[in-house]
């Protein structure tokens, strides 16, 4: 079910992260990850992809500046990795899965995008234990937001724990 949303969500990510700089996204849910994305990963992350077969639903990168250069000519250390997990109904275990991807791939941006409204139990849990959104020794966070299947857009009032795309200091 969630795979029908990958394309529209990828387009939103390209539009919104495109405001920060040049970006590139691909659907990686089936384990096919391009060399472009692999070039951003360290040896341990490449090992995890190959041996453990871990792959988020969508992966990409954002490059702030360098607007006049092709992506493959920009140094890897200037590219910020984005990992995205898409779920029909959000559960606590989904947060841990997204967090796991953020840590394994050393992602600058980790998003968990859900389709159905967030259950009140999950909302309350996150209010009381927001620390579970932290990863990478507390230096990074998981952003949680709802995709509105009726409008085909991100519900800006649904961001949990982090800034929306509309704010300058995304995440």
Which CATH number goes with the domain that contains 122? Answer: 3.40.1340
pLDDT reading at 9 higher than 90: yes
pLDDT at 151: 92
* Range with the poorest average pLDDT among 6-15, 26-35, 46-55, 153-162: 153-162
**How many domains does one find in the chain?**
1
Give pTM, 2 decimals.
0.87
In a domain, residue 166? The reply is: no
Average model confidence (pLDDT) for the chain?
84
Number of H helices, E strands in the chain: 5, 7
The answer to whether position 165 is within a domain reads: no
Flag whether pLDDT at 3 surpasses 80.
Answer: yes
What does each C-alpha distance from 22 to 13, 25, 71, 137 come to in angstroms?
A: 12, 11, 8, 28
Range of the domain at 46: 2-158
More confidently predicted of 106 and 78: 106
């Amino acid at each position: 079910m969630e795979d029908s949303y990958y394309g529209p969500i990828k387009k939103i990510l390209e539009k919104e992260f495109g405001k920060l700089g040049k970006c590139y996204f691909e659907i990686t849910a089936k384990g096919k990850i391009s060399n472009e994305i692999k070039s951003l990963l360290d040896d341990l992350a490449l090992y995890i992809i190959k041996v453990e077969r871990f792959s988020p639903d969508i992966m990409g990168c954002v490059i702030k500046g360098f607007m006049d250069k092709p992506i493959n000519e920009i140094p890897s250390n200037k590219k910020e990795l984005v990992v995205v997990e898409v779920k029909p109904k959000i559960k606590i275990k989904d947060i841990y899965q997204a967090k796991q991807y953020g840590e394994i791939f050393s992602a600058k941006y980790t998003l968990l995008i859900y389709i159905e409204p967030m259950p009140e139990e999950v909302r309350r849990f996150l209010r009381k234990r927001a620390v579970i959104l932290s990863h990478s020794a507390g230096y990074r966070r998981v952003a949680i937001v709802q995709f509105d299947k009726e409008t085909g857009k991100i519900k800006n009032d649904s961001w949990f724990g982090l800034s929306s795309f509309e704010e300058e200091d995304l995440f």
